[in-house]
Amino acid sequence: MNDAGTTAPAGTGTGRRIAFNHDLLSGLALIILGSFAYTWGPGWGERTWVFPNMVSWLMVGLGILLAVIGLARRTREKLFESWRAAVDVSWFSASVLAFFLLIPQIGYFVATWLFMVVQASVLGGRRHPAAVGLIIVVAGLLALGMYQLFGGAFNVHLPEGRWI
């Protein structure tokens, strides 16, 4: 456990890279998941749980093996180049989640248009002023095109939203 969760000096000098022991982390994840899955079910009594239980036990066994390998090797592999990269990833993931959560409220078309414009700008589009206008127009056309294509041609009606 002495490896996990620690940081190592970055080679690039741009920050401290975040490094963990991958085998140990994977092993712990498998042990936790496998134990949870097994305890969630009713045990070996019901036939419908035989297969999930078998898989759970195998996960726990493999998890222990991986954890032992991890402790024996004591190596660390990087997770992120720097804390800045971890923040970037969190921001991006949160914005995608916000986009998905907004869809039922404001509808697919508006949410997608907004998301595309904001994301394209934040990810680098704002450094190209000439591209901003193009992004706004193309994002609108793409969102509308997708909405029409799926609704009209494939009979898949994308969410319309409660507020708009």
Contacts with other proteins, residue ranges (CB under 8 A): 20, 22-23, 25-26, 29-30, 33-34, 37, 40-41, 46-52, 55-56, 58-59, 62-63, 65-66, 69, 77, 79-80, 85, 88-89, 92-93, 96-97, 99-100, 103-104, 108, 112, 115-116, 119-120, 123-125, 131, 135, 138-139, 142-143, 146, 150, 154-159
Q: State the minimum distance, in angstroms, from the CB of residue 1 to other proteins.
A: 15
Q: State the minimum distance, in angstroms, from the CB of residue 116 to other proteins.
A: 4
Q: State the minimum distance, in angstroms, from the CB of residue 139 to other proteins.
A: 7
Q: Give the total residue count for the chain.
A: 164
